[in-house]
Amino acid sequence: MSTSLLYHAFGLRGYRYVSTAYAEGHVVFRIEPKLEKMRCSECGSQEVIRRGSVSRRFRCMPIGGKGVLLELEVPRLGCACGAVRQIELGFAEPQRRHTKAFARYALDLLRCMTIQDVARHLQVSWDTIKEIAKQDLKRRFGQPKLKHLRHLAIDEIAIGHGHRYLTVVLDLDSGAVVFVSEGKNAESLLPFWRRLRASHAKIQAVAMDMSGAYISAVNEFLPSAEIVFDHFHVIKLMNEKLSDLRRQLYREAVDQLGKDVLKGTRWLLLKNPENLDPQRKEPERLEEALRLNQPLATAYYLKEDLRQFWLQPHKTAARNFLTSWYLRAMSSGIRVMQQMAKTLLVHASGLLAWYKYPISTGPLEGTNNKIKTMQRQAYGFRDQEFFKLKIYGIHETKYALVG
C-alpha cells in the first residue's frame, strides 16, 4: 500500500505507510508521522525535541467486511516555549479512538440505519456511535439561531410515566424546534426568553393552547406579539366538554335502553361527520344516540357549528359569528356548553387573531408525535442531553418501514 493511498482513501495527510498486519479479524495499517511535519501543538514552532512516544490505535473506515485499525507511535515533543505535549493528529479529534473519516461514515449510515445497526455493521459499541451522533447534533443544533424567528408555536408533551413533561417551542416558518425544556409551566420558558431577548428577534405571533401559564408568560416577555388560539386546541377542548356531557347523561340514564345507546358513542361524537364509516353503520348509530338524547344532540350540533368560525370571510364576520354562538350556547341550558361559551368569550381576542395571523400548532402536534415515536423506538433515553438534541434535529428525521 502506498502513502498516497493513505491520503486518497483514508484522508491521512503528513504520514507515511510502514506495514500491514492482520489481528483479531482486523486489518492493521502501521503508519508514522513525517518528521518534517511535526510542530509544537502549543505554539506551532518547528524547533522541537522528541521526548518519547505513546503507542495508539484508531479505528478507521472498514474495507469490505473487515474492520481497519491505524497504529502509530505518537511522538511527545518538547518545545522552547516550555510545553511538552503529544503532536496534534489531524485525522482524529482529541480524546477519540476513531478517525474523523470513520465518524463521517457513521453519520452517513445513520441517515438510513438505527444506532444499533450502525454499531453492529462497524463492529463497535452502541455508545461509540451514539457519541458520534451526539457530537454532530451538538455542533449543528446546540445553540439554535433565534434572530430570524417571526412566528412561534408553544406546547407541552408528556414523556414517559410519572407526569413528566417537556415544553417545546417550534419555529412555524421553518418547522424546526428552537427550544426544549423540562416542565410545562412558565418557569420552563425563562431560558428561552433570555436567549430571545439577546437575539433581538421580532416575534409577530405565537400559537398556543389556552393555558394560563403560557399566556401570562407571552404577555410578559413578548408584549407586542399576538397570541393565536387555533382550531386544533379549541375543538379539542370542545370534544372534552362533549365527552363530559356524554358520561353525565350515561350516569343519569334510568333505563337500560338509554345506557345501551350512549355506550360506545364517544368516538362517534368526536369524529367529523365526513369521517364516519357507513359500512360500520356509524352514521345510523350516531343519529339514534342524538335522537334519544336531546341535550347531547344540542351540544353535538353546537360543536359542529363552531368549526365554521374559521371559515368566515373576514374578522368582523368571525366576531359576529362568535357572539351568536355564545348566545346560543348560553341559552341551551347545558352547563358544559355554557362553560365553553364563557371560556371562548374570555379568549375572544386570541381566537380572532387567527384572521390576522392564520398560524396553528398543528405542525407542533406533528412534531410531538415524532418525538413520541422516537422515544418508543429507543425505549427511553438515559442521556437527556442526547434526547433533547435529537428533538432539535427532528425536522430532518424520516421514518420508514425497512426490512
CATH number of the domain encompassing residue 391:
3.30.420.10
pLDDT score at 401: 46
Same domain, yes or no: 65 and 17: yes
Same domain, yes or no: 15 and 77: yes
CA 263 to CA 255: how far, in whole Å?
13
pLDDT score at 33: 81
pLDDT score at 379: 47
Domain that holds residue 22: 1-91
In a domain, 156, yes or no: yes
User: Which pairs with CB-CB distance under 8 Å and at least 24 residues apart come from 362-368?
Assistant: 362/230, 362/232, 363/153, 363/170, 363/172, 363/175, 364/153, 364/154, 364/155, 364/168, 364/170, 364/207, 365/155, 365/232, 367/168, 367/170, 367/175, 367/177, 367/394, 367/395, 368/155, 368/157, 368/168
CA 12 to CA 15: how far, in whole Å?
7
Q: Over the chain (403 residues), what is each successive 10-residue block's mean pLDDT?
A: 72 82 88 72 67 85 87 80 73 87 92 88 91 91 90 85 80 91 87 92 92 88 91 86 78 54 53 67 63 72 88 94 93 88 92 92 81 66 81 74 46
Same domain, yes or no: 208 and 318: no
In a domain, 403, yes or no: no
Give me the residues paired with residue 151 across strands.
Answer: 205
* Sign, Cα dihedral of 81, 87, 91, 97: negative
State which of 80, 112, 141 marks the end of a domain: 141
In a domain, 401, yes or no: no
Same domain, yes or no: 34 and 3: yes
Same domain, yes or no: 83 and 132: no
- In this prediction the pTM is 0.75
In a domain, 373, yes or no: yes
pLDDT score at 4: 73
Same domain, yes or no: 247 and 334: yes
pLDDT score at 269: 56
In a domain, 345, yes or no: yes
State which of 53, 72, 91 marks the end of a domain: 91
In a domain, 402, yes or no: no
pLDDT score at 9: 76
Same domain, yes or no: 276 and 330: yes
Same domain, yes or no: 254 and 351: yes
Same domain, yes or no: 250 and 348: yes
H helix and E strand count, the chain: 16, 10
Same domain, yes or no: 195 and 132: no
Same domain, yes or no: 124 and 206: no
Same domain, yes or no: 81 and 96: no
* Sign, Cα dihedral of 245, 250, 253, 258: positive
Number of domains in the chain: 4
In a domain, 147, yes or no: no
pLDDT score at 136: 92
Q: Which ranges constitute the DSSP H helices of 77-181?
A: 100-110, 115-122, 126-141
pLDDT score at 46: 64
pLDDT score at 380: 47
